[in-house]
């Protein structure tokens, strides 16, 4: 057998592994076939949000190349990928500690309730990435960086954009916001993003490569903002609900009747013993007008974000 083929077989079976010990900070409304009866941690949901954040952080790829690489990593319907994902997640234990959670906490008890995994629950996830023939050597590290980005700014399940399903990785023990921001900037640069110069006093990151890439017609991460810290994670989640409610009926921040997701993704992270709202701005072609910018700035101001004038 040729040496090249032997090397390909060796590479195809190589596995890069990582274990993540996670703690739920806010209720996670992750549902399957019976959303009104049962909540469960689903690895398919985790793979889905990782795929989303990998795509949102990938600025250097044109749309066709993005789709080709996405199929390689996460699976697809084309003949080459065979529908198989090179990433596998394994839940180390069954997760079934449930509560009936108010998905609209700002309504003070009169909103709808759904089964959710309760805050404080610890979840252990094992991730492995198998390298197919088309994967480059540094692709596994890119996937790990995308996973860490999700664990810094993302969340999972129903109402994930408004504070629900926030998880804290045990490797993220930031003493203060500056430490969090330094790691976030390092991570974004490792993903080949152009991090702009911003005032540390305002606790935000702007990505300078976001403007021309809006033409790609897909959600793209262009900024991350940190609001005012709270004593409890649920207080930050309630604040997200208030900020959304005050802008109800304004489609620029997302419209349920048109199936438009909000370009502002809000989650919560523990930093230095307090719980901070983390708001990521994901630009797409639908949300670039002045009406959107005005609504965005009002939303951010309500969340305690400073220094947004002129952004």
pTM: 0.85
| Sequence-distant (≥ 6) Cβ neighbours of residue 187 within 8 angstroms | 145, 148, 149, 152
The rounded mean pLDDT for the chain is 79
Which pair of tokens denotes residue 104?
A: 């609209």
Structural domain contains residue 172: yes
Taking the C-alpha atoms of residue 231 and residue 275, their distance in angstroms, rounded to an integer, is: 6
Overall average pLDDT of the 245-250 stretch: 67
Residue 134 has pLDDT above 60, yes or no: no
Structural domain contains residue 223: yes
Structural domain contains residue 309: no
Considering Cα of 228, then 171, then 87, then 121, what sign does the dihedral take? negative
Structural domain contains residue 1: no
Q: Please list the residues that pair with 188 across neighbouring strands.
A: none
Structural domain contains residue 3: no
Structural domain contains residue 310: no
pLDDT in tens, 85-129: 778 888 887 666 666 666 555 556 556 777 788 899 999 999 987
pLDDT in tens, 76-93: 655 454 567 778 888 887
Overall average pLDDT of the 25-33 stretch: 83
Confidence of residue 171 (pLDDT cuts 50, 70, 90): very high
Structural domain contains residue 112: yes
Overall average pLDDT of the 276-284 stretch: 91
Structural domain contains residue 25: yes
Taking the C-alpha atoms of residue 102 and residue 112, their distance in angstroms, rounded to an integer, is: 6
| Sequence-distant (≥ 6) Cβ neighbours of residue 150 within 8 angstroms | 49, 50, 53
Instruction: Count helices and strands (H / E) in the chain.
Output: 8, 10
Domain count along the chain: 1
Task: Give residue 36's domain range.
Answer: 10-302
pLDDT in tens, 136-148: 556 778 888 999 9
Listed ranges 62-71, 96-105, 110-119, 164-173; the one with the highest mean pLDDT: 164-173
pLDDT in tens, 31-40: 766 666 677 7
Least confident of 20-34, 96-110, 152-166, 209-223: 96-110
Residue 133 has pLDDT above 70, yes or no: no
């Amino acid at each position: 057998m040729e040496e090249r083929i032997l090397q390909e077989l060796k590479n195809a079976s190589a596995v890069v592994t990582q274990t993540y010990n996670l703690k739920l900070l806010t209720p996670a409304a992750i549902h399957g076939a019976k959303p009104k009866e049962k909540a469960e941690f689903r690895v398919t949901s985790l793979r889905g949000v990782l795929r989303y954040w990998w795509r949102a952080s990938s600025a250097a790829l044109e749309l066709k190349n993005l789709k080709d690489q996405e199929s390689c990593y996460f699976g697809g319907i084309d003949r080459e990928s065979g529908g198989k994902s090179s990433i596998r997640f394994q839940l180390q234990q069954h997760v079934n500690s449930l509560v009936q959670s108010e998905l609209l906490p700002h309504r003070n008890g009169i909103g709808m309730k759904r089964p959710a995994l309760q805050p404080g629950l610890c979840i252990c996830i094992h991730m492995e990435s198998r390298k197919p023939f088309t994967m480059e050597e540094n692709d596994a590290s890119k996937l790990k960086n995308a996973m860490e980005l999700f664990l810094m700014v993302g969340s999972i399940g129903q109402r994930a954009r408004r504070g629900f399903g926030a998880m804290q990785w045990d490797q993220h023990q930031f003493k203060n916001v500056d430490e969090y921001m330094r790691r976030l900037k390092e991570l974004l640069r490792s993903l080949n993003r152009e991090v702009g110069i911003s005032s540390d006093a305002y606790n935000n990151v702007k990505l300078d490569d976001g403007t021309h890439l809006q033409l790609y017609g897909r959600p793209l991460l262009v900024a991350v903002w940190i609001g005012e810290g709270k004593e409890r994670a649920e207080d930050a989640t309630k604040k997200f609900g208030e900020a959304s409610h005050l802008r109800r009926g304004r489609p620029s921040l997302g419209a349920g009747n048109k199936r438009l997701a909000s370009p502002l993704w809000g989650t919560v992270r523990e930093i230095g013993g307090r719980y901070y709202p983390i708001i990521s701005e994901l630009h797409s072609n639908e949300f670039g007008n002045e009406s959107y910018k005005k609504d965005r700035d009002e939303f951010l101001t309500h969340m305690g974000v400073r220094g947004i004038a002129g952004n």
